[in-house]
Amino acid sequence: MSAAPLRVVFAGTPEFSVPCLEACRASGAEVVAVYTQPDRPAGRGRKLTPSPVKQAAVAAGIPVEQPESLKSQEARDALAAYRADLMVVVAYGLILPRKVLALPRLGCWNVHASLLPRWRGAAPIQRAILAGDAESGVDLMQMEAGLDTGPVLLERRTLINRDDTGGSLHDRLSALGADALAEGLRRVIAGETLIATPQPEAGVVYAHKLDKAEAKLDFHRPAIELERQVRAFDPWPVAEGDIAGESLRIWAAQAVEREHHATPGSVLSTGRDGIEIACGEGSLRVTSLQRAGGKRIGAADYLNARPDLRAAR
């Protein structure tokens, strides 16, 4: 007689979490419920919209729970009724109280998009790019009461490339997270006990939530820092900068090592390969941008609408 399948409750909300939900379903475990954030207003019409995880769960016929909080006895009783062996949490967006962490037989696992203890918290992907980190990764962690403080079960690493954006690194880490989770589930289902390695006490850094005010480019800063800012904030909140008196969203730009004595923020040159802006150190070559109310365009198309800048070469 075969053993009963591992009963898993999955908790997640954004697109990042969906591959991990699919990994749970493909592992041989039984996903008995999915927890996700309540539907939120989205789009121009501010219509209530289900999270990507809810959409995937509904398509798969998995029961969905959307409590505002897990702090009440009622919410804990509802979770306990699923008799989960394990709860898998991936970018859920709600704090799990200590009493919830203790409910599943094997506790709760978390897939976190950094190499812990660096970048604990809300925005590890963007913070790693902003800081100029050479690599990132995902950790499969046994959850405890602290914020991303639990011991690490499995890890996957990836280099951060010079052309990586917040979006491209997000997608790669999402896939790596699903890969680590799949291995963890496979090994536990096979009867193995994963070794939990405590995080080192040195090297703790917090990845604070992104603030839209951070998107503004300050051309007095070094160009390499502004390049990282542009990359990190694609696709959200998107960097913003003033070019020749016009406020623009800056989608793509490269730092250029260049000696100059120009005022930071002034246009050094323009051409098909971009618009070069003087910075505190070096210059920033803007290659893709967006005018207010317009769509994303290349620098050459923008210059066609700004003959005054074409003349500034």
Residue 117 known to bind ligand: yes
115 is in an annotated binding site: yes
Give 305's Cβ-side CA count (13 Å radius): 11
Annotated binding residue 266 = no
116 annotated ligand binder: yes
Q: Is 13 exposed, middle or buried (0-12, 13-18, 19+ CB in 10 A)?
A: buried
- Structure-token pair, residue 129: 């790019």
Q: List residues forming the annotated binding site for (6S)-5,6,7,8-tetrahydrofolate.
A: 114-117
Binding residues: 114-117
